Amino acid sequence: MLVLVAPGQGAQTPGFLTPWLDLPGVEDRLRAWSDAIGLDLVHYGTHADADEIRDTAIAQPLLVAAGLVSTAALGAVTPGAVAGHSVGEITAAAVAGVLTDDEALALVRTRGLAMAEAAAITETGMSALLGGDPDVSVAHLEKLGLTPANINGAGQVVAAGTLEQLAALAEDKPEGVRKVVALKVAGAFHTHHMSPAVDALAEAAKKLSPADPKITYVSNKDGRTVAGGAEIVDRLVGQVANPVRWDLCMETFQELGVTALLEVCPGGTLTGLAKRALPGVRTLALKTPDDLDAARELIAEHS
């Protein structure tokens, strides 16, 4: 059984969309979305530098657009389940048929702007803890006033909070943690710091007409499969201020009988976690069009 997954913020790199523009129709599609949401996706995906695409309001639409064009490039594919990490959940919702591609881009544009605005209120950020016991790490983070914003499985927890709190964490790591790595994000996502963004996203969600998913959809909130389109949208709205439980998502993949995991562009992060947490499961990260043939072979073997 194949699971298709979409990465979250921080997976983007300068120029990562450049090779995809060589595929027929991709540039036209990106320009149409750009016009619709008021953001030049082609420019930011090809010529912008790392600092420009670190901006939450830019990174989030860019990631969803990349996920959608790379999924479309695979051709007809019906995975056994779909999921996305953080903003990747919007990509997954579109792949599952809950949202149209245009609705997904409109929603993520609102999400990115609202979260960027919320992040500007207080200087905040996120850091990944490498190694250690998650239960020990979570207790330590709470002692420092930090939030375990992502519990990713494979021993990885991501802390979020103010820059002062994160500096204290770097000096006082939880027992067993090898390293604390600052992430290339511009705020404490999936924490109470993002609460102002929830209202803006809820207002935008009123304009949507969600359908029930055609593919099993696994939610970040608790790793549960969700069968109703309206509930999926409600979860997308609330998730911006609540922790991502990717560990529980991977547990659900196992329960569903996953044999292969394919991560859409810009792939790499989630396949890395799966290699450690899902032994025996085939993984493939879709980075450039050069990976499409291998991805299609994986789909043919495991769909």
Q: Could you list the active site residues?
A: 86, 190
SS3 258: coil
Dihedral sign of CA atoms 168, 173, 178, 182 in order: negative
| Cα Rg of the chain (Å, integer) | 18
Residue 166 amino acid letter: L
Q: In sequence order, what DSSP letters do the residues of 7-71 get, joined into one string?
A: --TT---TTTTGGGGGSTTHHHHHHHHHHHHT--HHHHHHT--HHHHHSHHHHHHHHHHHHHHHH
Q: CA–CA separation, 114 vs 119, rounded Å?
A: 9
In sequence order, the β-bridge partners of residue 3 are 81, 261
Closest CA to 172 of 127, 207, 214: 127
Closest CA to 41 of 56, 59, 22, 68: 59
List Cβ neighbours of 236 (8 Å cut-off, separation of 6 or more). Answer: 89, 90, 93, 107, 201, 205
Measured in whole angstroms, how far is the alpha carbon of residue 72 from the centre of its chain? 18
Q: CA–CA separation, 78 vs 244, rounded Å?
A: 25
